[in-house]
Structure 1
Amino acid sequence: MSERCTWCGTDPLYVAYHDTEWGRPETGSRALWEKLVLDGFQAGLAWITILRKRENFRAAFEGFEPARIARWGEAEVARCLADPGIVRSRAKIEAAIGNARAYERIEAREGFARFLWGFTGGRMLDSSPLRMADVPAETPESRAMSKALKAEGFKFCGPVIVYAFMQASGLVNDHLAGCPARDACTAEARALGL
């Protein structure tokens, strides 16, 4: 019998995220950057909190266009700090600005998506977990990616945050064996040559 991964519970928003987005391979640089920034905002919070605020984040952060956010200054930080629809952490907001600048450098040099997918050898990793206890909090790949991102100037990108990002973005397929979404993620990766 197929059972959905238990981490999403029964909240309809969380279930829809699990079923249609989490673990699906993302190859767009801007979309990957948005997911990484949101995972940074999640630090210390439950992902459902960020998921519920995601549209507010998209509005506050100008559609997560790195070129725009890279030019932000104190006025935009103050605006975000006054926005009750997002997580109002000065450190995380300022990190997003710095991360946008770092993104631009990587994107110009080699492409942000290519940079990130390079840590998995350009393919979706599959840990084939049987139960939630089999899913690691971090891996050698997430530690290497975290170290490289930090060297590029990124913040809020420790190896645990990076691993959550890798799971969400389909760089790794951590849907449990028997989860209906597992095969769909694998099929999408194959279709993309990942």
Structure 2
Amino acid sequence: MASTKSTVTNTSTPARCAWVNEDPLYIDYHDHEWGVPIHDDRKLFELLILEGAQAGLSWYTVLQKREGYREAFDSFDPEKIAAYDEEKVEELMANPAIIRNRLKIQSAITNAKCFLKVQAAFGSFDAYIWQFIGGEPVHNHWRTKSDVPATTPQSDAMSKDLKKRGFKFVGSTICYAYMQASGMVNDHSMDCNWYAGKE
């Protein structure tokens, strides 16, 4: 029998950003989602809620619970979430598939209501949120993970305006992470195979 040891060609492993671990879930997220421009309101809303849930935790922790969130939060339907009552909050607090933090759960309900108001005022949340970077993705040129800023003037402006509109868990650091994840900025490091930008 011929040996199949020829499969040991690990030199083809693409270079990725330093923050990616070995979990296939995280690798897939980095390769196919992070930094890809999002213009779908439902996806932008989901990301807003998940970034808020991340506060004080790692994105990896949130990503591991994303499917649980989708199930628990009605596939991130803002109209349904805006109508959640105290009984629903208690149900969510008992759900181990999500991060059981009362303030974060309540903020998701508040943010759903605010999100619907923004949609009504601007025609779409997409039109509103992308204005903070002029409607086009910003392609940065960071050499290492430590070069990447935690906040920018654009994330400061976004945070300030979201807070003014009543949104919760939208500090400037959260807003910048949101900009990275939604493809408003491309922060793949220069040594990453995905640095050139995503379609």
**Normalising to structure 1: TM-score of the pair?**
0.93
Please list the CA deviations of residues 66-88 of structure 1 after superposition, one character each: whole Å capped at 9, or x if unmatched.
Answer: 00000111011011000011000
2:125 alignment counterpart: 112
State the distance in 1 between where 2:38 and 2:155 align: 16
Gaps spanning 5+ residues in structure 1: where?
Answer: 189-194
1:191 alignment counterpart: none
Aligned amino acid, residue 108 of structure 1: A
- The runs of 4+ residues in structure 1 deviating greater than 6 Å are none
Q: 1:168 offset after TM fit, Å?
A: 0.5
Please list the CA deviations of residues 7-49 of structure 1 after superposition, one character each: whole Å capped at 9, or x if unmatched.
Answer: 0122211111001100000011111111011000000111111
State the distance in 1 between where 2:173 and 2:55 align: 9
Paired residue total: 186
Please list the CA deviations of residues 115-172 of structure 1 after superposition, one character each: whole Å capped at 9, or x if unmatched.
Answer: 1000000010122111111100010000100011111110001000110010000000
- Report 1:46-85 matches (<5 A): 46-85=58-97
2:174 alignment counterpart: 161
Larger CA deviation: 4-13 vs 32-41: 4-13
1:11 alignment counterpart: 23
- Report 1:79-158 matches (<5 A): 79-110=91-122, 111-158=124-171
Q: Check the 8 A contact 2:45/2:115 in 1, yes or no.
A: yes
Q: 3-state DSSP class of the match of 1:10? A: coil
**Normalising to structure 2: TM-score of the pair?**
0.91
Aligned amino acid, residue 83 of structure 1: N
Aligned amino acid, residue 75 of structure 1: E
Q: 1:184 offset after TM fit, Å?
A: 4.4
State the distance in 2 between where 1:141 and 1:33 align: 19
Q: Check the 8 A contact 2:186/2:197 in 1, yes or no.
A: no
Please list the CA deviations of residues 80-130 of structure 1 after superposition, one character each: whole Å capped at 9, or x if unmatched.
Answer: 000011000110000000000000000011111111000000010122111
Structure with larger Rg: 2
Gaps spanning 5+ residues in structure 2: where?
Answer: 1-11
Q: Check the 8 A contact 2:42/2:76 in 1, yes or no.
A: yes
Aligned amino acid, residue 42 of structure 1: Q
Identity %: 47
Aligned amino acid, residue 14 of structure 1: Y
